[in-house]
């Protein structure tokens, strides 16, 4: 039996797909990965075959830097990074405008290349990254059955009257009714209820928009539309344009097939959501096509000697003052020490391969960690170490860190809200402080906030004091919110008992 995995040339996309494929590998079955050259070493590390397939103009082997991309992708990334400094609406608007180039790159030629790979490999099953639009176009045109893996938050596939690119929900920190708003004005809605549906109320003025002063905006980031209503209108225009391009390519590849009504709503024969069903919005469930909740795709990592030694040092060190979870001045953190101390708590911090460039935000997080008095392991990525300020001697700071290994031992985490980071933290039973910057990170952060297993803040405006209080909350979650802590523990147990790779194999083969 042969499984074909089709992935963009990005580590953050390939790693969860490859992890799912290990179930086939471990059963002695053949796995072939079709992707680009930047991630070839990752394919090799899993022991899979690789065939060349270029699905887009960009790539990312693990840590992305704009200057290492081709010229057009370099400019696109720099524009994106600039937009993240302006706010949620500006960032989502920039991404919407970019979608015709970064999602449907040379669609007809790419689609034909995909069909050539299928003909050469002759797979029994195919799994495709949902965001590999040209690849999915090819399989639709060729009448080839496939499973569609949604690697991000479930809202990456819009349902009902949702519009791709405009989040159906987002955290309170980004606007809406707000905790102190007048319920009569808010119509009884909360900030995390759907605001991506025509006619729903939203306090547009409260959206965090650092670019409200035109002098702040960078020309290359593009002008922001008029709040969330303008964002939705822009996303509707992009949907129409993108669907027209999809249909033009489809007509050339398979003129006998009917056109799509919305290319962003297209999907495979079976949807595999790399997300825990326990966190999903129950109101969307009835609207979804045939699907399986995989929970997570947590990969095995090789032993990192430096990290292992750092973790062991935390376990062996003498009892230290507890983190300052109660900032009141009359509290003695050294009183009543634990006679059988557990390993010193620490917080894992990462903004992923793209957004680590926002080391200005990492700097505020680092200062909050110092104020709380807790150890930290920080994956710096492409950020500037100098932005962290003075790094305590018992912290671990490197460009890249083994995330799964550290989450397994962490007490809490700080993340940008990328789906890999969120699902891996949930599998480890680790509560999170989420600082979402883009795409589906806002909806993902709202889900964590709604279920109580995370605290969401706006990265551009969160103060050190606010970050410190959020850290205290998640570090002391069992005391501050025992119900949420219990839900998180139960979710982690479920995700560990039946890993996503086993769920995916059972769904595609009918064999457990």
pLDDT surpassing 60 at residue 53: yes
* Residues whose CB is less than 8 angstroms from the CB of residue 66 and which lie 6 or more positions away in sequence, other chains included: 73, 74, 77, 78, 81, 357
Report whether 296 contacts 430 (CB < 8 A): no
Write out pLDDT tens, residues 149-163: 999 999 999 999 999
Mean pLDDT of the chain: 84
How high is the pLDDT of residue 100? 61
Better-scored residue on pLDDT, 410 or 88: 410
Q: E strands within 93-146?
A: 125-129
Report whether 424 contacts 296 (CB < 8 A): yes
pTM for this structure? 0.83
Write out pLDDT tens, residues 409-442: 999 999 999 999 999 999 999 999 999 999 899 9
Characterize the bridge pairing of strands 147-150 and 291-293: unpaired
Write out pLDDT tens, residues 249-278: 999 999 999 999 999 999 999 999 999 999
Max mean pLDDT among 187-196, 207-216, 338-347 falls in 338-347
Write out pLDDT tens, residues 160-209: 999 999 998 889 998 732 223 223 222 222 333 333 323 222 223 323 33
Question: Tokens 């962003």 sit at which residue?
Answer: 264
Write out pLDDT tens, residues 468-507: 999 999 999 999 999 999 999 999 999 999 999 999 999 9
Max mean pLDDT among 177-181, 198-202, 325-329, 330-334 falls in 325-329
Distance CA 186, CA 201 (A): 7
pLDDT band at 56 (very low <50, low <70, confident <90, very high): confident
Report whether 53 contacts 47 (CB < 8 A): no
Buried b (16+ CB within 10 A) or exposed e, 11-40: bbbbbbbbbbbbbbbeeebebbbbbbebbe
Distance CA 139, CA 124 (A): 14
pLDDT band at 118 (very low <50, low <70, confident <90, very high): very high
Q: Tell which residue, 174, 168, 165, has the closest CA to residue 87.
A: 174
Distance CA 377, CA 37 (A): 30
How many Å is the Cα radius of gyration of the chain? 23
Instruction: Tell the burial category of 290 from Cβ atoms under 10 Å away from its Cβ (0-12, 13-18, 19+).
Output: exposed
* Residues whose CB is less than 8 angstroms from the CB of residue 342 and which lie 6 or more positions away in sequence, other chains included: none
How high is the pLDDT of residue 322? 54
């Amino acid at each position: 039996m042969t499984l074909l995995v089709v992935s963009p040339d990005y580590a953050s996309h390939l790693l969860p797909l490859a992890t799912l494929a290990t179930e086939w590998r471990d059963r002695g079955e053949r796995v072939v990965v079709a992707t680009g050259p930047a991630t070839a070493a990752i394919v090799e590390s899993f022991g899979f075959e690789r065939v060349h397939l270029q699905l887009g103009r960009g790539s990312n082997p693990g840590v992305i830097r704009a200057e290492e991309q081709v010229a057009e992708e370099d400019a696109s990334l720099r524009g994106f990074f600039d937009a993240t400094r302006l706010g949620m609406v500006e960032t989502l608007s920039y991404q919407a405008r970019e979608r015709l180039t970064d999602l449907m790159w040379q669609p007809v030629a790419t689609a034909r290349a995909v069909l050539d790979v299928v003909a050469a490999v002759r797979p029994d099953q195919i799994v495709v990254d949902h965001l590999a639009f040209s690849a999915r176009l090819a399989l639709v045109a060729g009448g080839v059955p496939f499973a569609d893996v949604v690697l991000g938050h479930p809202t990456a596939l819009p349902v009902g009257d949702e519009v791709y690119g405009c989040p159906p929900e987002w955290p309170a920190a980004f606007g809406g009714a707000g905790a102190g708003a007048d319920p009569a004005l808010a119509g009884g809605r909360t900030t995390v209820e759907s605001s991506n549906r025509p006619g729903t109320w939203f306090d547009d003025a409260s959206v965090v928009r650092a670019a409200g002063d035109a002098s702040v905006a960078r020309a290359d980031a593009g002008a922001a539309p008029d709040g969330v209503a303008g964002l939705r209108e822009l996303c509707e225009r992009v949907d129409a344009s993108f669907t027209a391009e999809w249909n033009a390519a489809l007509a050339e590849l398979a003129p006998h097939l009917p056109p799509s009504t919305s290319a962003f709503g297209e999907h495979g024969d079976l949807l595999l959501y790399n997300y825990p069903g326990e966190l999903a919005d129950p109101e969307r469930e009835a609207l979804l096509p045939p699907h399986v909740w995989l929970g997570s795709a947590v990969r095995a990592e090789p032993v990192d000697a430096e990290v292992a030694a750092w973790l062991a040092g935390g376990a062996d060190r003498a009892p230290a003052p507890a983190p300052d979870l109660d900032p009141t001045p009359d509290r003695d953190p050294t009183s009543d020490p634990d006679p059988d101390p557990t390993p010193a708590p620490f917080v894992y911090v990462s903004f992923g391969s793209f957004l680590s460039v926002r080391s200005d935000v990492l700097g505020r997080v680092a200062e909050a960690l110092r104020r709380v008095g807790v150890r930290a392991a920080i994956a710096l990525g492409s950020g500037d170490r100098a932005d962290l300020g003075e790094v305590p001697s018992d912290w671990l700071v490197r460009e890249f860190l083994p995330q799964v290994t550290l989450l397994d031992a962490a007490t809490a985490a700080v993340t940008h809200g990328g789906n890999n980071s969120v699902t891996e933290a949930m599998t480890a039973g680790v509560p999170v402080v989420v600082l979402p910057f883009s795409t589906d990170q806002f909806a993902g952060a709202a889900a964590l906030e709604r279920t109580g297993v995370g605290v969401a803040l706006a990265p551009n405006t969160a103060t050190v004091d606010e970050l410190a209080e959020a850290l205290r909350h998640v570090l002391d979650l069992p005391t501050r919110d025992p119900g949420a802590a219990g839900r998180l523990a139960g979710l982690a147990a479920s995700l560990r008992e039946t890993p996503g790779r086993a769920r995916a194999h059972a769904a595609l083969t009918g064999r457990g």
